[in-house]
Amino acid sequence: MTNQIRANSILPACREDIELHTADGLTLVGELARPLDREPVATLVCLHPLPTHGGMMDSHVFRKAAWRLPALAGVAVLRFNTRGTSSVRGTSEGAFSAAVEEKYDVAAAIEYAEFADLPHVWLLGWSFGTDLTLMHGLDPVVAGAILLSPPLRFSGPEHLAAWAEAGKPVTALVPEFDDYLRPDAAVERFRAIPQAEVVGVPGAKHLWVGDAETVLDEIVRRVAPGVTVPLPREWDGPIESGDMNAYADRTVAAFADTPVPGPTTE
């Protein structure tokens, strides 16, 4: 029976709860979703938006990636809560550190992917997660980075310079109506990384509400170029439905009238 893939559709995959252990002694909760019937062609390590403003491993684009991409694209998806962050999966130990001690969280996730022999590891950052990617994600294991709604708030010129020198691919998906950095400004800021690709997404906003399918297609286009996009919008096989009520009171980003913490300074 063919079913339309909806926002709450969960396609078949091998899913397991995981724990990450940081170098500074914390345990972080997460999930790894792999293709059910084949080895993955690539791996996404997801770094979520600001936890102080509702960001978590279940922020909707990451949730949909984990629910769809193992089946539709053969891509493994590793999601986790950074320190002090809660979701249905649980709460990670520690406390929010404004992108400082989160360096240990990023390292623990990359290390887990490496030890699990997951192939072609890409970092997928969203908002605050893009800063974590740029600041702490330049690891030999990492093949490249995809940045969703990058505000470039915590990361600085030295981090862009490091990615430029490394030469690894960087793609920034920038909403036309982003709250913090819009496409034209993003093109200028990312000139510091010659190999960076800035993709403006017409009509989109920082939260990507209504544009998740576009985002997933653009991700797959880069991490799994052998997969045809756009991805199917229907599924001929078993399909489950997620509980959307579990996420009804959570958002994924700051708004103009809500203060957003910046980098801490000594």
Q: Cα(175)–Cα(95) distance, rounded to whole angstroms?
A: 30
* pLDDT tens per residue across span 22-70: 999 999 999 999 999 999 999 999 999 999 999 999 999 999 999 999 9
Q: Under CATH, which number does the domain 9-247 receive?
A: 3.40.50.1820
Q: How many other CB atoms sit within 10 Å of the CB of residue 22?
A: 23
pLDDT in tens, 84-116: 999 999 999 999 999 999 999 999 999 999 999
pTM of the model: 0.93
What confidence score (pLDDT) does residue 253 get? Answer: 44
Query: Residue 260 above 80 pLDDT?
Result: no
Peptide bond into 232 cis (omega under 30): no
Identify the pLDDT of residue 11.
98
CA-CA-CA-CA dihedral for 233, 234, 235, 236, to nearest 10: -150
Reported as a pLDDT band with limits 50, 70 and 90, residue 1 is confident
> Nearest-CA neighbor of 80 among 72, 69, 88?
88
Write down the domain spans for the chain.
Answer: 9-247
**pLDDT over threshold 50, residue 264:** no
